[in-house]
A = this chain, B = another copy of it.
């Protein structure tokens, strides 16, 4: 019995707790209720839980703080929710080696703050950083604003401790920046959405806080013009730390006064020793294309310029239930993608709000659904489907950083192709032969 082998406060079966652990920020709610919630406090709890689940063939749904946008943590009938948010200790923070060893429940922004005390930072900064956990970030290979320059979560994960489906503990990677002994299990587990193993600790690369930062905000007459301008920056060989696009409808939702300034906003940040000269180069590129360009080296003003981007999702959530797409396209196709999304929106009569990590070609078209409708109208599904098809047609992907979860499953085979899809399933079977880890997700 699991209850007997776990410390007394770990296994929760009251209906209120169970219901609170059945979904994530996507709002996806499968049929039926999980059996129980295990609130893990240490690796041993995870081992014990998986051993029992493996023996009994019970599905296990690992979760952090439930900020996922694709239903990766949605837990249905007969499953066991494995909540890792209580494993929240920073085990080590080495300024000497510029790395941290953390448990999976550590809040992303909290690690960044702790690193800051040593002049370092944790580069990946998903929009959910204030609430999301490192474990969830690794499970989805989360992106964020800064990954334009510093890469996605995978690029900051040096090594992992994880528990396999049968309760075996594996350690992957290392404490060094480089290393090629064996297959790259660290990268394999990163982004596997809890389907291959449960992460119980991570060795993460920290980076020096840049010596300088310069931020620009430019308004444009059209969203396409803003997309073209962001591509001009890439094309000119400047690598900004972030380049965020916000369209007119999002500006309107955040603050009508912002919408009055233009039909689209592009915020660009350059950092490092060359920040000022890079920002000057960016300004020269933007000025002929934009209606206004504002530049600042002041961090507080920079945060104010970025606020329109950061407030996008909370503002849209006030309007209804946001269905957040996450396509990425080759950067040269960004403006084309923007035009096509607008046409899809018009064709189906579905309002689409768009923000984008422009330097990565990663677009978030957001369909806001009236919650009074209960479910998702057919037109919403059709528009979403056409947006996915558009991404693939342009040589892109269904998901740049949020993961497949349950929401995008039906499209996965089309993107991967049958052979790669089959290889993925073989790997899944090799690591989790009974299929207990987050079944029905990712693949």
Work out how many copies of this chain go into the complex: 2
Q: Mark A152-186, 1 if CB is under 8 A from B, else 0.
A: 10110000000010001111101111111111110
Residue A362 is within 8 A (CB to CB) of chain B in the complex: yes
Q: Mark A409-428, 1 if CB is under 8 A from B, else 0.
A: 00010011101111110110
Instruction: Tell whether, in the assembled complex, residue B147 and residue A178 are in contact, meaning their CB atoms are under 8 Å apart.
Output: yes
Residues of B contacting A361 in the complex (Cβ-Cβ under 8 angstroms): 176-178
Assembly CA distance A333 to B352 (angstroms): 53
When the two chains form the complex, which single residue of B95, B170, B403, B423 contacts A423, counting CB atoms closer than 8 Å? B170
Residues of B contacting A422 in the complex (Cβ-Cβ under 8 angstroms): 168
- Given contacts A175-B395, A177-B360, A419-B168, whether A182 and B424 have CB atoms under 8 Å apart is yes
Assembly CA distance A396 to B174 (angstroms): 7
Q: Mark A232-255, 1 if CB is under 8 A from B, else 0.
A: 001101110000000000000000
* Chain A: interface size category: 35 or more
A203-258 contacts to B (CB < 8 Å): 207-209, 211, 234-235, 237-239
Assembly CA distance A329 to B96 (angstroms): 12
Assembly CA distance A228 to B179 (angstroms): 22
- Given contacts A98-B331, A208-B239, A274-B274, whether A170 and B360 have CB atoms under 8 Å apart is no
When the two chains form the complex, which single residue of B151, B274, B426 contacts A430, counting CB atoms closer than 8 Å? B426
A196, chain B: closest CB distance, angstroms: 7
Residue A277 is within 8 A (CB to CB) of chain B in the complex: yes
Residue A97 is within 8 A (CB to CB) of chain B in the complex: yes
Q: Mark A399-443, 1 if CB is under 8 A from B, else 0.
A: 111111000100010011101111110110111000000000011
Instruction: Tell whether, in the assembled complex, residue A398 and residue B277 are in contact, meaning their CB atoms are under 8 Å apart.
Output: no
The stretch among A53-61, A74-82, A187-195, A365-373 that forms the contact with chain B is: A187-195
Give the residue name and chain of the B residue nearest to A190 (CB): B184
Residues of B contacting A188 in the complex (Cβ-Cβ under 8 angstroms): 183-184, 187-188, 427
Give the residue name and chain of the B residue nearest to A423 (CB): B170
Assembly CA distance A420 to B168 (angstroms): 10
A79-98 contacts to B (CB < 8 Å): 94-98
Instruction: Tell whether, in the assembled complex, residue B419 and residue A170 are in contact, meaning their CB atoms are under 8 Å apart.
Output: yes
Instruction: Tell whether, in the assembled complex, residue B330 and residue A427 are in contact, meaning their CB atoms are under 8 Å apart.
Output: no
Residue A141 is within 8 A (CB to CB) of chain B in the complex: yes
26 contacts between A and B (CB under 8 A): A99-B330, A164-B419, A164-B423, A168-B419, A168-B422, A171-B420, A176-B328, A176-B361, A177-B328, A177-B359, A178-B357, A179-B396, A179-B397, A179-B400, A180-B401, A181-B399, A181-B415, A182-B415, A182-B424, A183-B424, A273-B274, A273-B275, A273-B277, A426-B431, A427-B427, A427-B430
Q: List the interface of chain A (C-beta within 8 A of B).
A: 94-99, 119, 140-141, 143, 147, 151-152, 154-155, 164, 168-172, 174-185, 187-188, 190-192, 196, 207-209, 211, 234-235, 237-239, 270, 272-275, 277-278, 281, 328-332, 357, 359-362, 395-404, 408, 412, 415-417, 419-424, 426-427, 429-431, 442-443
New A-B pairs, 20, CB < 8 Å, besides A168-B419, A171-B419, A185-B424: A97-B331, A141-B180, A152-B178, A171-B420, A175-B330, A175-B395, A176-B361, A177-B362, A178-B397, A180-B404, A181-B398, A182-B412, A182-B420, A182-B421, A183-B188, A187-B187, A273-B273, A423-B431, A426-B431, A427-B431
